[in-house]
Amino acid sequence: MSEMLSQDEIDALLRGTNDSSPKPVDESEEHLDSMESDALGEIGNISFGNSATALSTLLQQKVEITTPVVSEVTIDELRERYPTPHVALRVGYTEGLKGENVLVLTREDAAIISDLMLGGTGIGVDPDGLDEIRLSAVQEAMNQMMGAAATSLSTVFSKKIDISPPLVEVFDATKNQTIIDRLELWETMVLIEFNLKVGTLIDSKIVQIAPIQFGKQLVNELIAATTSAPAAPKQEQPKVQAAVTPAKAPEPAPVRTEKTSAPEVAVSQAEFMPLHAPTSNDSVPANLGLLYDVPLNVTVELGRTKRSVREVLELSQGSIIELDKLAGEPVDIYVNQQRIARGEVVVIEENFGVRVTEIIQPHERIGIV
């Protein structure tokens, strides 16, 4: 009896067996830390900001895609979050990146987008009427959006990135269907939610879903592009040294080294420092230069007002709308819906322009304190 194990000893052995499972490896490989989540949010903000411009051109409506929120979900959590049918578009990357992601829209938003793509007004559209033609219209709109996003990523990552045409279908997260079956292969997923506004027709969300491995791949590409950015100026240093070495070549003896030191000092003063970035920019983040070519929406707001539906319906050609600003009062200047400055309206030849008179919190515009 003394050789038999007690229940407490058996429980201790079982706990020890469970602790020996490869848990630490899974946590490091299958989850995002706070830095990676923030990086994915910035990548999504940049890429989908360009997508909003492409979608606005297609729909002839003002489009805003802002405020990304990054989280992790499992397939069961996804089923609970989307119990009603949605429209999903699977996008694969054919060059530059390896993997795929899924965009999710509500059926109502997809119906409005398809109606606008087909020349309609987007008003009073039945979400149950998403036939093959309308789904094809949504597919083309998302293809243009993701193409614009891929172009932005190409600029940020300094490499060519291309996508395959998206595959579209209506899916029910509570059932096993094509895209859900595909998502079940991803044990843990990155879910990025964006606010989507299309004129006055849509005020909703668009969701991007991708496997954790693909999210980490995007972060690694951003880090690689950031760390390789300062390499270009350093490559010019050997050229400067090559220009200096001929001044040292005529030194015949150690006695003359002091005499030749004066020319060396003169040469060192012409080390082509202006060819490099000014030292005052050293405080700017190293990856900021990667974003210089990313297009931004600059908007000048003359003023605002509120009107009832009756007053709006009574508007006709020649009607005058009084704004909440006085004549001569500074106008607000926005970049991607963020107010950054104030200015005054001027006329340049036959075009309106704005002269900037005040910059609002300049250190916050580039994230430098």
pLDDT digits (tens, 9 = 90+) for 120-153: 899 989 888 888 888 888 888 888 888 888 888 8
When pLDDT is averaged across residues 197-224 and rounded to a whole number, the result is 89
Between 17 and 157, the higher pLDDT residue: 157
What residue spans define the domains of the chain?
Answer: 29-227, 234-273, 296-360
CATH fold, domain 296-360, is Surface presentation of antigens (SPOA) (2.30.330)
Whole-model pTM? 0.54
CATH fold, domain 29-227, is Chemotaxis protein chec (3.40.1550)
SS (H, E, C) 345-359: EEEECCEEEEEEEEE
Which tokens is 166 given?
A: 């998206």
19: pLDDT strictly greater than 50: no
252: pLDDT strictly greater than 70: no
112: pLDDT strictly greater than 90: yes
Instruction: Give pLDDT, residue 290.
Output: 65
Helix residue ranges, H only, the chain: 7-19, 23-29, 34-59, 75-81, 107-117, 132-157, 178-183, 212-228, 231-234, 237-248, 257-268, 309-313, 362-365
Write down the mean pLDDT value for the chain.
75
Closest by CA position to 297, among listed 52, 41, 57 = 52
Closest by CA position to 168, among listed 126, 110, 93, 235 = 110
For 64-68, 335-339, 364-368, which range has the lowest pLDDT when averaged over its residues? 364-368
